[in-house]
């Protein structure tokens, strides 16, 4: 059985028929071709699927598309300005080389933006604790922490 849902994705209203068991990450990647939202673990542990729902970071692999009904979703593709200028956090990840293979980067950036917007994150310890739900298998996190610090300055 399918259900009709309407939501706003990256500023555009979207209406789709979805099965009751369709995950939000499937809707974004497969139905809307927003492939910056990655599937890494299917259990919500790695954070590669992180998007913003109504201004808060959520893991799209653990949420049904139906649960997002009426909500506003921002994916990594919607974070940049309409003219293509990178969001300050994206620019900071590039500047500080807070990535290596890039697989975790979209979820890491989305989580970092949420962290800066909603929590104190001035110290390395606070940033590391705030990003605990995101896993990077390549970098060792030091450049990610520096990127979040620089991105936070740019977001002020």
Sorted by where each begins, the domain ranges of the chain are: 2-78, 88-155
Tell me if 151 sits within 8 A of 108, measured CB to CB: no
Q: For the residues of 88-149, what is the DSSP string, one character each? A: HHHHHHHHTT--SS-SSHHHHHHHHHHHHHHS---SHHHHHHHTTT---SSS-SHHHHHHHH
Q: Which two tokens stand for residue 43?
A: 């259990």
Model's pTM, two decimal places? 0.94
Fold of 88-155: DNA polymerase; domain 1 (1.10.150)
According to DSSP, the residues that pair with 2 across neighbouring strands are: 19
> Is CATH 1.10.10.60 the classification given to domain 2-78?
no
Distant-in-sequence, close-in-space partners of 110: CB < 8 Å, separation ≥ 6: 50, 51, 52, 57, 74, 75, 76, 79
Chain center to CA of 10: 12
Tell me if 71 sits within 8 A of 133, measured CB to CB: no
Dist CA 117 CA 82 (whole Å):
20
pLDDT tens for the chain, 156 residues long, are 899 999 999 999 999 999 999 999 999 999 999 999 999 887 889 999 999 999 999 999 999 999 999 999 999 999 999 999 999 999 999 999 999 898 999 999 999 999 999 987 779 999 999 999 999 988 779 999 999 999 999 998
Distant-in-sequence, close-in-space partners of 67: CB < 8 Å, separation ≥ 6: 24
HSE of 23 in the Cβ direction (CA atoms, 13 Å)? 19
């Amino acid at each position: 059985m399918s259900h009709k849902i309407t939501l706003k994705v990256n500023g555009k209203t979207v209406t789709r028929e979805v099965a009751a068991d369709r995950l939000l990450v499937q809707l974004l990647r497969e139905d809307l071709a927003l492939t910056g939202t990655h599937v890494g673990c299917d259990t919500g542990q790695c954070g590669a699927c992180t998007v913003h729902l109504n201004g808060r970071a959520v893991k799209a692999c653990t949420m049904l598309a139906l649960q997002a009904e009426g909500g506003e979703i921002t994916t990594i593709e919607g974070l940049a300005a309409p003219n293509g200028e990178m969001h300050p956090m994206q620019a900071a990840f590039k500047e500080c080389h807070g990535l290596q293979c890039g697989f975790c980067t979209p979820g890491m950036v989305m989580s970092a933006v949420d962290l800066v917007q909603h929590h104190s994150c001035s110290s390395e310890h606070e940033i590391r604790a705030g990003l605990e739900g995101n896993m990077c298998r390549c970098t060792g996190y030091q450049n990610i922490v520096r990127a979040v610090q620089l991105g936070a300055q740019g977001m002020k």
